Chain A
Amino acid sequence: MSLERIRLPEEVRHWHGDMICDYTYTLGVAGEKFYSGLKEGRIIGSKCPECGRIFVPPSAYCPFCFTELTEWVEVPDEGFVYALTVAHVDADGEPLEEPELYAFIVLERPGEAQEIYGGILHKLGEVGPEEAYIGMRVKAVWAPPEERKGTLADIRYFRPIE
């Protein structure tokens, strides 16, 4: 009788399968404020009464002071590029037709001193990979109100401004 004899370690069999689950994530107390704010064309943060920091995206508690946060504030939809990267492949490693720019944007208006802790990770648009730079001032380009769904895609991208 023929038996599969394993002569070499490389011949070890494999068993194929998957671990696929569907998820429905609630947004939470702070998340619902943030995403409903996006639908209205605003970026919302939460302010800590003790240390004064404004968290973006908002949090229901201050991780430093461990106070519950109930003050929701609107923050500017413009700021500067803190860090950026150019992607040439997608999430599955397949090549992209056009390179995509992603940046971490610290939100602030020039001349306004706000203790905003955090920022937004988003796409950069209307700018080429060679032109974007750290420190570049950018502003959100919003989708029209009727197309907004309450997700990060309600901001199409951030574009450079002077």
Chain B
Amino acid sequence: MMDPGRVKRRVAVVGAGMTLFRRRLKETGRELSFYAAKMALEQAGITLRDVDAVVCGSAPDAFDGVHMKGEYLLDGMGGHCRPYMRVFVGGGTGVFTPIAAWWHVASGHFDIVLAIAEEKMSSCHPHPQKAFTTIFDPMLTRPLGANLVWIFALEMMRYMSVHGVKKEQIATIAVKNKRNALDHPCAQLPAKITVQDVLNSEVMVWPVQRLDISPPSDGAAAVVLASEHMAKQLTDDPVWIDGVGWCLDSTYWTNRDLYYPKYVEYAARMAYRMAGIKDPPKEIDVAEPYDPFDYKEAHHAEGLMLARKGEYLKDVKDENDIFAKYGRDGDLPVCPSGGLLGVGNPIAAAGMMKVCEIFWQLRGEAGRRQVKNDPRTGVAQAWGDLMQIGTVIVMRR
């Protein structure tokens, strides 16, 4: 287990930026990365010359349609003639990218590191889900005609079945997040919908319906990380990365009980231990768990130990309950950004968007999305691969 005492230096986030998230954008992946990176640098008050190293996060090459995508995107990411690496852990990438950037700075090796996550899913035709099928075992799963959404439907069914959670309860999460997204300037699918709208929407793979799912998107987001002494020079308001954690489980997903993401809990324990958090629901002021599907917010929040297993939606029967408990003014604000369901899901950039959101929330810069409880500690989490990885980051002011 990670020993907090062994970490060499404190690391802070000093700037963040992102592009619009849309189903398809004109700009190439490189250009999107440039927009996000440039914005983050400007927010931090520095230029590319000040950056010591760059970390790129981008998910399957098969989306953008260019092999060795990390190297391809390098120029737009500011990686020209610099130490540069690309990390890729499926959907977990968006939080794994700042974690990898954290290693760069915490090790004492670099002072200022730019971390950018990008995804351009619109290139893949007829639908990015086709590229996803290549994640499945070619002998065991693909011959059955597997579609990506199958695994989420099986996981959702297991979660509902083990805990007795109903679709009406889960649908309130889609209502909350899409409504929260109305206040996000980059959001792809902000909407005022009701639980009934979700239950009436087209069945994709039962129990998953159209309004339970986040869309495929193009977009990029970035943060600038700085070592403690640099951060204090650059800003009066650094946001410290106090905990990082990541953990993976087996690709033999049919051999696992899907009702609970054990690997998210292990990653959370690693991050909480480093941050000195012993009672997550009490000590965390705002949370951004990964929500590519509405049930995933509940699934992951339980993995993050913000609620006991099966109990995230225990007291939630309708829309009013969900806003009272987890809305921006609620007991514990969850996904105040609007999450993936509302803002969009460019696979890697989505997780990074959550990190940017926690950064802005902790600084009080989230505008209309600002949670009112004067947050000091926030957690962002991402998830991905074949339902395998949990990546967790704890940030504090």
Contacts and interface: CB of A to CB of B under 8 A. Distances in A.
Contact of A21 (B38, B47, B65): B65
Contact of B38 (A28, A59, A68): A68
B222 to A, nearest CB: 12
Contact of B138 (A17, A26, A60): A17
Nearest to A31: B28
Q: Which of B30, B125, B131 has the most CB of A within 10 A?
A: B30
B204 to A, nearest CB: 20
Contacts, number: 73
A29 interface: yes
A66 B123 contact: no
A28 B33 CA distance: 12
Interface string A122-136: 000000000000000
Interface in B118-135: 122-126, 130-131, 134
Interface in A21-79: 21-32, 59-61, 63-66, 68
A55 to B, nearest CB: 10
B260 to A, nearest CB: 32
B68 to A, nearest CB: 15
Contact of B31 (A23, A24, A61): A61
A29 B123 contact: no
A19 interface: yes
Given A21-B130, A59-B75, A68-B38, A27 B28 contact: yes
B48 interface: yes
Contacts of A59: 30, 75
A23 B28 CA distance: 13
Nearest to A61: B34
B28 A26 contact: yes
B390 to A, nearest CB: 27
B27 interface: yes
Contacts of B25: 26
A150 to B, nearest CB: 15
A28 B120 CA distance: 12
A23 B124 contact: yes
B378 interface: no
B24 to A, nearest CB: 7
B216 to A, nearest CB: 13
Nearest to B48: A66
Contact of A15 (B125, B131, B138): B138
A45 to B, nearest CB: 15
Given A29-B26, A31-B28, A63 B138 contact: no
Nearest to A25: B123
B31 A60 contact: yes
A68 B41 CA distance: 13
B26 A23 contact: no
B304 to A, nearest CB: 34
B65 A28 contact: no
Given A19-B62, A21-B131, A25-B65, 12 more contacts: A15-B138, A17-B142, A26-B25, A26-B26, A28-B27, A30-B28, A31-B28, A32-B26, A63-B75, A63-B80, A66-B41, A68-B38
Interface of B: 24-28, 30-31, 34, 37-38, 41, 47-48, 62, 65, 75-76, 78, 80, 122-126, 130-131, 134, 138-139, 142
17 contacts: A15-B138, A17-B142, A21-B65, A23-B125, A25-B28, A25-B123, A26-B27, A26-B122, A26-B123, A28-B31, A29-B31, A60-B27, A60-B30, A60-B34, A61-B38, A61-B75, A66-B47
Chain A to chain B: the 10 pairs with minimum beta-carbon distance, closest first: A28-B28, A66-B48, A23-B65, A63-B80, A22-B125, A63-B75, A61-B34, A15-B139, A60-B31, A19-B134
